[in-house]
């Protein structure tokens, strides 16, 4: 098995995969996710930005955040973002082709991978369930910066969750004899059982808690580190662990199952 070319951004650049290399990438992505949550916590909820249709463009009814994400995705598509199988747009329907020659990514995934996109669900989960947990319930009117921060979170979460396609592919290649019967039977429960490693999940949750403690602690100017119990964090580390345990890991597993169900098509 397993020669893997991995870039510093933690992305997979070869069609030869291993579970270790994929997990390394997920670990690197934790940094991006934890930092993006910490950055978002600078702003209050600012719910009118994503709840109210405020667009003044004729014939266009969308929230400021939706408008912002759509427009940014268009420009990012034009420079080739979505040629990369690790990236999945939120607004698929208006994604243009790249206007530059693009890198030819090795065809690592089954072609049906393209049809696995749960960004609508991620959008709803993020705004309705996650965001209210870690930002102040207030409105300071600073919607453009808030929307930019939301986009950073959404893209980091979406990439992590859709990485489930790569995890599933490598698990399938490592043990096709185990996965094929469950895929042929379209047995989601059996697939879920096969791909679950509870010990790994526990490690992930503990590690992201540690990262949130390390990256998000308030740094004092004197060398006296003081009483541990007085330490303050920009985002509650236990909450970051919970976000992984209750949302990110289950959604990643959902993507794994959805991908596997199509793997023999
Ligand atoms: O590392 C794996 O094997 C994965 O499938 C990823 C992941 C996760 O989301 O972190 C999901 C399912 C496993 O139970 C363990 C971890």
Locate the domains of the chain by residue range: 19-219+228-261
Q: What percent of the chain has pLDDT over 70?
A: 91
Ligand 1 is surrounded, with C-beta below 6 A, by: 23, 26, 167, 195-197, 200-201, 204, 249, 252-253, 256
pLDDT at position 10: 44
Which helix (H) or strand (E) segment holds residue 176: the answer is helix 176-184
Q: What is the mean pLDDT of residues 126-133?
A: 98
Which helix (H) or strand (E) segment holds residue 209: the answer is helix 198-216
Work out the pLDDT band at 57, boundaries 50, 70, 90. confident
Question: Residue 162: what are its φ and ψ, rounded to 5°?
Answer: -75, -10
pLDDT tens-digit series, residues 66-123: 999 999 999 999 999 999 999 999 999 989 999 999 999 999 999 999 999 999 999 9
pLDDT at position 242: 98
Residue 235 pLDDT more than 90?
A: yes
In ligand 1, the atom with minimum distance to the C-alpha of 198 is 14
User: Whole-angstrom Cα distance, residue 87 to residue 76?
Assistant: 11
Residue 132 pLDDT more than 50?
A: yes
> 150-162: buried (b, 16+ CB within 10 Å) or exposed (e) per residue?
bbbbbbbbbbbbb
Q: Are 63 and 53 in contact (CB under 8 A)?
A: yes
What is the pTM assigned to this prediction? 0.93
Residue 56 pLDDT more than 80?
A: no
Decide if the complex's ipTM is over 0.90.
yes
- In the reported structure, the alpha carbon of residue 122 is separated from the centroid of ligand 1 by a whole-number distance in angstroms of 18
- In the reported structure, the alpha carbon of residue 98 is separated from the centroid of ligand 1 by a whole-number distance in angstroms of 32
Q: How far is CA 27 from CA 10, 20, 63, 257, in A?
A: 9, 10, 33, 21
Q: What is the mean pLDDT of residues 181-205?
A: 98
Q: Mean pLDDT score of the chain, rounded to an integer?
A: 92
Which among 195, 207, 208 is the best mutation to test ligand 1's pocket, defined by most ligand atoms within 8 Å of the CB?
A: 195
User: 193: which 2 tokens?
Assistant: 């059982």
Task: Give the HSE-up count for residue 138: Cα atoms under 13 Å, Cβ half-sphere.
Answer: 8
- In the reported structure, the alpha carbon of residue 36 is separated from the centroid of ligand 1 by a whole-number distance in angstroms of 21
pLDDT at position 224: 61
Q: Are 252 and 244 in contact (CB under 8 A)?
A: no
Residue 145 pLDDT more than 50?
A: yes
Between residues 59 and 182, which one has the greater pLDDT? 182
Q: Which residue has its alpha carbon closest to ligand 1 atom 3?
A: 197
Residue 264 pLDDT more than 60?
A: yes
Q: What contacts 155, CB < 8 A, 6 or more positions away?
A: 87
pLDDT at position 229: 67
Fold classified for 19-219+228-261: Chorismate Mutase, subunit A (1.10.590)
- In the reported structure, the alpha carbon of residue 31 is separated from the centroid of ligand 1 by a whole-number distance in angstroms of 17
- In the reported structure, the alpha carbon of residue 196 is separated from the centroid of ligand 1 by a whole-number distance in angstroms of 6
- In the reported structure, the alpha carbon of residue 8 is separated from the centroid of ligand 1 by a whole-number distance in angstroms of 21
Residue 58 pLDDT more than 90?
A: no
Residue 202 pLDDT more than 60?
A: yes
Work out the pLDDT band at 228, boundaries 50, 70, 90. low
Q: Are 251 and 122 in contact (CB under 8 A)?
A: yes
Q: Which residue has its alpha carbon closest to ligand 1 atom 16?
A: 201
Whether the CA torsion 247, 37, 131, 57 is positive or negative: it is negative
Residue 144 pLDDT more than 90?
A: yes
Q: How far is CA 125 from CA 13, 150, 155, 157, 167, in A?
A: 30, 13, 13, 11, 22
DSSP symbols for 96-119? PPPSS--------S-GGGGG---H
Q: What is the mean pLDDT of residues 12-22?
A: 76
Residue 164 pLDDT more than 80?
A: yes
Which helix (H) or strand (E) segment holds residue 75: the answer is helix 64-78
Q: Are 25 and 12 in contact (CB under 8 A)?
A: yes
Residue 180 pLDDT more than 90?
A: yes
Q: Which residue has its alpha carbon closest to ligand 1 atom 12?
A: 196
User: 16: which 2 tokens?
Assistant: 């030869």
- In the reported structure, the alpha carbon of residue 248 is separated from the centroid of ligand 1 by a whole-number distance in angstroms of 10
Nearest to 52 by CA among 130, 133, 143, 134: 143
């Amino acid at each position: 098995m397993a020669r893997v070319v991995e870039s510093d951004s933690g992305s997979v650049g070869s069609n030869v995969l291993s579970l270790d290399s994929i997990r390394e990438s997920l670990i690197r992505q934790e940094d991006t996710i934890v930092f993006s949550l910490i950055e978002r916590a600078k702003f209050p909820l600012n719910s009118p930005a994503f709840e109210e249709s405020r667009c003044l463009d004729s014939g266009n009814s969308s929230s400021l955040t939706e408008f912002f994400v759509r427009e940014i995705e268009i420009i990012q598509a034009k420079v080739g973002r979505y040629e990369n199988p690790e990236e999945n747009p939120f607004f698929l329907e208006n994604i243009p082709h790249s206007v530059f020659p693009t890198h030819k990514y090795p065809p690592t995934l089954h072609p049906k991978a393209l049809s696995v996109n749960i960004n609508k669900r991620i959008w709803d989960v993020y705004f309705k369930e996650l965001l209210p947990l870690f930002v102040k319930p207030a409105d300071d009117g600073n919607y453009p910066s808030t929307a930019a921060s939301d986009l950073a979170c959404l893209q980091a979460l979406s990439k992590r969750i859709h990485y489930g396609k790569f995890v599933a592919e490598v698990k399938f290649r490592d043990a096709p004899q185990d996965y094929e019967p469950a895929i042929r039977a379209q047995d989601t429960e059996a697939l879920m059982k096969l791909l679950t490693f509870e010990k790994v999940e526990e490690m992930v949750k503990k590690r992201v808690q540690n990262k949130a403690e390390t990256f998000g602690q308030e740094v004092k100017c004197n060398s006296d580190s003081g009483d541990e119990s007085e330490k303050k964090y920009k985002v509650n580390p236990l909450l970051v662990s919970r976000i992984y345990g209750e949302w990110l890991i289950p959604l990643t597993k959902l993507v794994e199952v959805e991908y596997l169900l199509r793997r023999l098509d």
